[in-house]
Amino acid sequence: MAALRLASFTLRPAAAAASASSGATPAAPRSASFARVARGLPSLRLAPPRRRGDLVKPRAAEAAAESYASALSEVAVENGTLEQTVSDLEKLEKIFADETVAEFFDNPTVPREEKTQLIDEIAKSYELQPHVVNFLNVVVDNFRATIVPQIVVEFENVYNSLTGTEVATVTSVVQLESQDLAQIAQHVQKMTGAKNVRVKTQLDPELIAGFTVQYGRDGSNLIDMSVRKQIDEITSEFELPDVPLGV
């Protein structure tokens, strides 16, 4: 599976960039607790622990992910830490891409102390914000670690809606230069009219050369500039219908 990572830049309007570079000191974020917000949502009340191997219905998992994402976005907006929070969730997305991590947290036979220790190590290593750590603890207490990737997706949807951001996923054989990614971001911004464009990158050697760009909700739009596509098109031109041979 291709490794997914976030490019080191976000394309923003000139006004926003000027404001960021003016040296003005941002207002200190207010404190908000994810646990407090979560308690206010019936869908996030602590449920009895699930037995390992229990299946979560797709729609139920999707609804739970939406609820967690909504609660977390509420805290992030209240704290004024929306940008930092989406960055923290991208870190968690990479961590939980390893299914054994979620299996560890959702395993009821693992002592809570061991889970707490791992959460603390993750928080320290990745410099997570306190409310994101609190969020992770609530997820673990609810035995919902397996839906963390879905929560990240739902949170990004909320973030994109709040900030007018379009996400473009660029897939290539080798990592593209920053200036190339910036040009791609500008092209996507021009096509979509988005205020901001965030670029994610992933590597896929099967493309042979070139790149693809997916954008739009759920990556429904595709720009394919890969050699693999060209080869497939050439191959299809040489495909001939089967002709029965007379005996």
The confidence score (pLDDT) of residue 102 equals 95
Question: Which distant-in-sequence residues (6+ apart) come within 8 Å of 220 by Cβ?
Answer: none
CATH 1.10.520 given to domain 31-161: yes
Least Cα distance to 166 among 202, 185, 194, 191 occurs for 194
Tokens matching residue 181: 């990614």
Least Cα distance to 90 among 159, 182, 171, 38 occurs for 159
The confidence score (pLDDT) of residue 221 equals 87
How far apart CA 95 and CA 125 sit, in angstroms, is: 11
Centroid of chain to Cα 106: 21
Give yes or no for a contact between 36 and 78, defined as CB atoms under 8 angstroms apart. no
Place of tokens 């054994």: 100
How far apart CA 81 and CA 75 sit, in angstroms, is: 8
What's the rounded mean pLDDT across residues 115-121?
A: 96
Sign of CA dihedral 188, 192, 198, 200: negative
Instruction: Name the more confident of 227 and 24.
Output: 227
How far apart CA 239 and CA 245 sit, in angstroms, is: 17
The confidence score (pLDDT) of residue 51 equals 46
Question: Which distant-in-sequence residues (6+ apart) come within 8 Å of 125 by Cβ?
Answer: none
The confidence score (pLDDT) of residue 4 equals 45
Listed by start position, the domains of the chain span 31-161, 165-237
Mean per-residue pLDDT of the chain: 79
pLDDT level of residue 38 (50, 70, 90 thresholds): low
Give percent of the chain with pLDDT exceeding 90.
51
pTM value surpassing 0.85:
no
How far apart CA 16 and CA 133 sit, in angstroms, is: 29
Task: Give the model confidence (pLDDT) of 63-112 as tens digits.
Answer: 999 999 999 999 999 999 999 999 999 999 999 999 999 999 999 999 99
The confidence score (pLDDT) of residue 22 equals 45
Task: Give the model confidence (pLDDT) of 136-188 as tens digits.
Answer: 999 999 999 999 999 999 999 999 999 999 989 999 999 999 999 999 999 99
Which of 199-203, 223-227, 229-233 comes out lowest in average pLDDT? Answer: 229-233
Q: Phi and psi for 122 in degrees, rounded to 5?
A: -65, -45
Is it the case that residue 52 has pLDDT exceeding 70?
no
Instruction: Name the more confident of 220 and 191.
Output: 191
The confidence score (pLDDT) of residue 210 equals 87
Residues facing 200 on adjacent strands: 6, 169
Is it the case that residue 117 has pLDDT exceeding 80?
yes
Give yes or no for a contact between 166 and 160, defined as CB atoms under 8 angstroms apart. yes
